[in-house]
């Protein structure tokens, strides 16, 4: 980042040391679903939306984005934003009428930095020794004996990964006053530190009971190279009683289909290695009942040509992305029920 060329505004400069962009591809590089070549999509993944989103965000801020590149010599992107400089940020003044809170942090560097940054203006002093601290923040990955030895003597917060929630009672029995869940957010850190020092007891969050027994609604395969999308879809369908498997490429989806029976498949069309339509064609060519499994293809860009290609590939239904959880469950129930009855 640097001041704008005319002395005002802000320029953001990104240098890419890759292969660069050939002349014929520059004009369409900021178009949605555009990549330099199909080989790039197969090798690197992605769907060609990143630069299109950048261009729209920059335009909304009344800025510009420019590309300079020579094929074979990388590329440079410059975003120019017409922002006004401010002389001083308005910040709340910390309360200095009491002794600074002394906090010891035993975490990996990135997590430690998040804690320190969150507490910077909160009348806090970071100390190195737990024995000198009012509060100790520990990594749950430390040896249990070490955690317990500190927690029995000092107020202690344990930092957990989302998958460690089942260990909360164990840490509480060791003497821990509370916990923080990664990823660490400033608001949560400040709130939890304050409540812990005030003596509030942090209880384990109650998880909603699933409405259905796992697997009673059927089994689903989600094929999507976007791990976040796959995780959200999996959570929504598991809550509806489906057993859910995931695949990150069309090739992986084909492999799973040859090994398992599914009630329905949700297939993202744009995936690396093997796209969704090619995977669908190969599934339809499998021997046995797997070839008849309903396949709902997901795409953010539906047009008549794609609809025709999807139909020819053997897609049962084409659905537009993004797709919300209620709609996802509706589609799963619609296609899973008749397929399950036919299998019976």
Q: Is the pLDDT of residue 219 over 90?
A: yes
At 202 the pLDDT is: 46
Domain ranges, ordered by start, for the chain: 2-81, 101-197, 218-337
In terms of CATH architecture, what is 2-81?
2-Layer Sandwich (3.30)
The domain covering 218-337 belongs, at the CATH homologous superfamily level, to Response regulator (3.40.50.2300)
- The mean predicted confidence, pLDDT, of the chain is 80
Nearest of 107, 101, 153 to residue 130 by alpha carbon: 153
**What's the pLDDT score for residue 36?**
54
Q: Is the pLDDT of residue 208 over 50?
A: no
In 3D space, the residue among 190, 10, 17 whose CA is nearest the CA of residue 114 turns out to be 190
Residue 166 three-state SS: helix
Q: What are phi and psi of 15, to 5 degrees?
A: -105, 125
Strands (E) located in 172-323: 178-181, 218-223, 242-247, 264-268, 295-299, 317-320
- Region of poorest pLDDT, from 156-160, 212-216, 261-265: 212-216
Distance of CA 79 to the CA centre of its chain: 25
Tell me the pLDDT tens digit for each residue of 105-159.
999 888 888 888 888 766 788 898 888 888 999 999 999 999 999 999 989 999 9
pLDDT tens digit string along 146-163? 999 999 998 999 998 887
pLDDT in tens, 168-207: 888 989 998 888 888 888 777 887 777 776 554 444 444 3
Domains 2-81 and 218-337 share a fold: no
The CATH topology of domain 101-197 is Rossmann fold (3.40.50)
What local confidence, expressed as pLDDT, does residue 198 receive? 59
Q: How many Å separate Cα 112 from the centre of its chain?
A: 22
Tens of pLDDT, residues 57-106 = 888 888 898 888 877 788 888 899 888 766 554 444 444 445 678 899 99
């Amino acid at each position: 980042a640097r001041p704008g060329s005319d002395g005002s505004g802000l320029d953001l400069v990104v240098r890419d040391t890759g292969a660069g962009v050939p002349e014929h591809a520059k004009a369409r590089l900021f178009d949605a679903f555009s990549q330099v070549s199909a080989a790039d999509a197969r090798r690197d993944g992605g769907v060609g939306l990143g630069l299109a989103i950048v261009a729209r965000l920059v335009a909304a801020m009344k800025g510009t984005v420019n590309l300079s590149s020579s094929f074979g010599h990388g590329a440079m992107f410059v975003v120019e934003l017409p922002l006004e400089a401010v002389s001083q940020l308005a910040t709340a003044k910390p309360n200095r009428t009491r002794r600074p809170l002394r906090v010891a942090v035993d975490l990996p560097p990135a997590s430690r930095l998040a804690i320190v940054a969150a507490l910077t203006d909160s009348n806090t002093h970071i100390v190195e020794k737990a024995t000198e601290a009012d509060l100790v923040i520990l990594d749950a990955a430390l040896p249990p004996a070490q955690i317990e030895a500190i927690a029995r003597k000092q107020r202690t917060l344990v930092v957990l990964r989302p998958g460690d929630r089942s260990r909360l009672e164990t840490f509480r029995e060791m003497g821990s006053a509370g916990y923080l869940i990664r990823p660490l957010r400033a608001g949560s850190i400040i709130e939890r530190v304050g409540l812990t020092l005030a003596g509030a007891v942090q209880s384990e969050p109650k998880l909603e009971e699933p409405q259905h027994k796992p697997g009673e609604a059927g089994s689903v395969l989600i094929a999507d190279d976007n791990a976040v999308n796959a995780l959200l879809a999996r959570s929504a369908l598991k809550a509806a009683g489906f057993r859910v498997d995931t695949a990150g490429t069309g090739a992986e989806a084909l492999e799973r289909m040859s090994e398992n029976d599914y009630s329905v498949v949700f297939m993202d069309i744009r995936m690396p290695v093997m796209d969704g339509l090619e995977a669908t064609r190969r599934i339809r060519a499998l021997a046995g009942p797997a070839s008849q499994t309903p396949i709902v293809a997901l795409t953010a860009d539906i047009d008549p040509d794609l609809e025709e290609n999807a139909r020819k590939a053997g897609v049962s239904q084409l659905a537009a992305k993004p797709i919300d959880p209620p709609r996802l469950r509706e589609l799963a129930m619609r296609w899973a029920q008749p397929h399950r009855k036919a299998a019976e």
